[in-house]
Each structure stands twice: as structure tokens, then as C-alpha cells.
A and B are shown apart, each in its own frame.
Chain A
Amino acid sequence: MHDFSISQQIANKVIEKINRERAFKVIEIKIKIGELTHLNPEQIDFWLKQFFHDTPAEDAKILIEKTPPLIYCKGCGYQGTIKVRDDFFIYPFIPLNCPKCGLNKIEIKSGNECLLEKIKIKR
């Protein structure tokens, strides 16, 4: 739901940067979205295109990568990624248990991010 306002913040940042860098055109925008957020890449892509309309970023290729969460298990010491099972057909939902020992005693290291990683511009 907050894809709109997050996209607006991303777009403002990109436009601020291209003005400062006197960019003639933005070629590519790289974004990383953690799988634990409630952000939907498709919606972010849609809104960014709206915000970039009539700006040098209008034709930019928007690359959005979904990043899996990194966890640390306080039970067995497992450190690594886990699969987020949040498709609508899986029930009962068993979220975020350690893939090794199955316990729900995990510390989330990453997966909550919405990162504007880099942009490629042409001057």
C-alpha cells in the first residue's frame, strides 16, 4: 500500500541526483527490495514510470531485484538465507522458521530493505 509514497521518495532522490549531475538521460536504475517488506516490485515499477514521465529518467530501465532474508538462528547457529513462503496458496503459513532446526528463534539480519542501489546516467 505504501508503494506509492516509497516510489515517490525514490523518484525524488533520482531526480535530485540527475539535476546535480547535469544528466541528460538516465539509462538504468537499480533497486533492491527485501522479501520481508510489503513492497511489490511491480507496483514500484509502475509508480516510478509515472513519476519519471517527462523527466530525463523517462526511458530508464528500472531493474528491481528481490533479495531473500538473511537470518541467524539462536537455536542452532544457522546463518544464511531462508525462503519466504508468502504465496496465497500455502496454508497454514509457517513463516520464518530456521530451515535447519525448524525453530522460530531467529534474528533477522536483512530482508527489510528498500535500497536505491545505483543509477547509470548519460551526460
Chain B
Amino acid sequence: MDIIEPEEGEILDIELEEDFLEKNRQLSVKNRALLDKNKVRAIDVMGSIGSGKTSLIQLLLSILGKKFRIAVIAGDLTTSIDAERLRQPEVKIIQVNTGKECHLDARLIERALKSLPLSSIDLLFIENVGNLICPADFPLGTHQRIVVISVTEGPWMVVKHPYIFRDADIVVINKIDLAEAMQVSPEKLTQDVSSINPNAKVIPVSCRYKKGIFEVVSALELNLSNKGII
């Protein structure tokens, strides 16, 4: 049999057509299917550094913990400070450390989901790495996305990071008790969000004074049926 071998110095075009962000999207679809199969409602909590993501989740746990079986996946580059802050007897908490990575991705969530007893969980909060840029490129497979910002970050937080707000279902503007001192208008921030994403529900909140938390709960639209959350 004749075998035709390439000659030395032959030039070849190799089609690869490999999409590195699509891989994450495909995994996120798999994550969603797994969550749906187990009737777990998952919420991605994104937001800037120090905006109050953990504080918000703490307050949501205190309200929702009586009604739902909750788990939290806390993402950070390093440390388990957030996981410790959220520790409660009834809540399953997993800390995911990304090392040097600036966001959680669907692969890390896939791994975290494997170590959660999904069939006995109704509600899963995923606290993303504090960052208004990168998480926008990496859907995790959650049902809803919350973006948390705060007035202490100044008046331009929304317009400077439009992409993350485009895909948000709920936007929380935290620390409104400090708005006057900061001379930042929560109304203006709300308008900025609406011009980018008219469908997002924008909620002014003060985690410190527990204001606006019930509005966040109702925006989550959690209706408990006997088969879980619908």
C-alpha cells in the first residue's frame, strides 16, 4: 500500500474553530440542567469589591433561612473570610478560591455543585468575586443575576461598567444611608441602570440599617410550592 507522507517543509492550514468562551457557556447550560433537575433555584450575586455582597446574602439568609433550605457558594481569590461570615447551622457553605482568577466560571461551579446535597436544597446563592467586569463574560448557569453596587464607589459605577448591568435581573444600590455624605444620588444610579437595562429591578438598600431587604426578597419572586420553588 502506498502511503503519502507530507514532505518536509510542507505548509498546512489547520482549522480549529475552538471558542474558549463558548466552552464556559456550554458548561453553564449543563449546570442549569443539573440545578433544574434537583429543583434548586440559583442566584448569582455579583458586584464591586466592598459593595456589600456578603452583607446582603447574610440578611437574605436571616429572612429566607426559616422557609427554605439554603446553600451558599462563596467565591474569592483566597481566604475563607466570607464563608466564615456566612456560617450558620442550617446553611451549607462552600468556599471556592479562584487563585489568581478574577471571576468564578462554570467549571468551578460544576465542581462545587458536586459537593452539595442538591436534592435537599431549595435555594443556592453564589457570591461571585468582587468585580464588575469579568463575571459578565462567564455565565454560571444560575436562574437570576443580582449586581450589588454601593454609593461609596462614586457616581459613575454603572456607566463605567455597562456590560454587567445588561444581564442583571436585580440591581442593588447599597449603603444609601451614606448617599448624602457621599453626595451620590441613588436616583441617578437607578436611571443609569434603566438606560442600559430597562428590565432590571433596581432596589436601594442599606444593609447596615436593614432597609430594602424585603424588596430584594420580593424581587427574587420565590414562591414555595410543595415541589420546591417555582
Contact = CB atoms under 8 A, between A and B. Distances in A.
Given A93-B162, A95-B196, A112-B21, A38 B133 contact: yes
Interface centre among B21, B100, B162, B198 (most CB of A within 10 A): B21
Interface residues of B, number: 36
B137 to A, nearest CB: 5
A122 B20 contact: no
Interface string B103-146: 10000000000000000000000000001011011000000000
Contact of A121 (B7, B14, B19, B134): B14
Interface stretch (A3-11, A48-56, A57-65): A3-11
A100 interface: no
A98 interface: no
B21 A114 contact: yes
B14 A122 contact: no
Contacts of A23: 12
Interface string B195-206: 111100000000
A70 interface: no
Contacts of B136: 38
Interface of B: 6-22, 25, 100-103, 131, 133-134, 136-137, 159, 162-163, 166, 192, 195-198
Listed from nearest, the 6 A-B pairs whose CB atoms lie closest are A1-B102, A114-B21, A114-B20, A116-B18, A95-B162, A115-B19
